[in-house]
Amino acid sequence: MVHLKVYNQHGNVSGEIEGPSFLSEPLNLELIHQIFKSYAANRRTSTAHTKNRGEVRGGGVKPWRQKGTGRARHGSSRSPIWRHGGVVFGPRNTTDFSQKINVKMAKKALAGVLAQKVKAEQLKIVDSFTDKPKTKDIVSVISNLAGNKSSLLVISVGENNAFRAAANLPMVKVLKIKDLNVYEALTHKFIIFDKKAFEELPR
C-alpha cells in the first residue's frame, strides 16, 4: 500500500492520502514505449505535400508532334521526367498516421508511468491550486512544489480556475483527470494533482 503526502499551496505537508494499488505494480517499459509512440503518432499531422502530374500547372498541350522530329515522343511537359513536372510517390497531406490504442493497455501504461513518478518523487498532490483564477497564485503553488521544471497540472472535472490561471504559463499544462495520458505524463517533469482529482483515479 502506497501513502502519499498532501501539500498545501505554500508547499508544506498538510496531510496524507492512500494511493491506488497500481502504484506498486511492476514496470512494463515495452508497453509504455508502445503506447507513447501511439499517442505521438495520433498527434502527428500530415503537412508535407507534393503535386502529381495532374496537379502541376501547364502541360496541357503536346510539346511537339508525335513523329518526324527525331526527338523522343512526349505527351506533356509536366511528365515526372521533365523539369518542373509532377512528383511520383512524393509525400501527400492525406497520409493518416493514426494508430489504434487499446484502452486496457493505455491504462496499464499510465499506471506504470505514475508509479515511476512516485518513486522519483515527481508526483505531488496539493489541496487545491487556487481559489481564484489568478496567475500569481498558481505560479506560487508550482514554484513551491516543482521549482521551475515543466509541470503537468491535473484537476478534477468541475474545476476551471486552474485552466484560466495557468493559460499563459510556459512549461505548464493543465489537464482534466479524464484526459490524463502517457504522452502528457512523460513529456513533463512533474505531475501535480489536486487532491480531488487524485481521488478520482481508479483504485
pLDDT given for residue 163 in this prediction:
86
State the pLDDT at residue 21. Answer: 87
17 with 76, same domain? no
> Same structural domain for residues 19 and 108?
yes
Residues 103 and 61 in one domain: no
Q: Looking at the structure, tell me whether residues 143 and 57 fall in a common domain.
A: no
Tell me which residue range forms the domain holding 116: 3-44+97-199
| Residues 88 and 116 grouped into a single domain | no
Whether residue 150 sits in one domain with residue 91? no
**Ranges under pLDDT 70 in the chain:** none
Q: What total of structural domains would you count in the chain?
A: 2
pLDDT in tens, 155-170: 988 788 888 889 889 9
Render the burial of 91-106: b for 16+ CB within 10 Å, e for the rest: eeeeeeeeeebeeebb
Last residue of a domain, one of 34, 69, 95: 95
Single-letter residue type at 200: E
Whether residue 157 sits in one domain with residue 66: no
Same domain, 31 and 80: no
How many beta carbons lie within 10 A of that of residue 1, not counting itself?
8
Radius of gyration of the chain from Cα atoms?
27
pLDDT, residue 22, reads 87
| Predicted pLDDT of residue 196 | 92
pLDDT recorded at residue 78? 95
What pLDDT is stored for residue 25 in this prediction?
A: 80
Structure confidence at residue 31 (pLDDT): 97
What's the confidence (pLDDT) of residue 148? 87
Residues 140 and 175 in one domain: yes
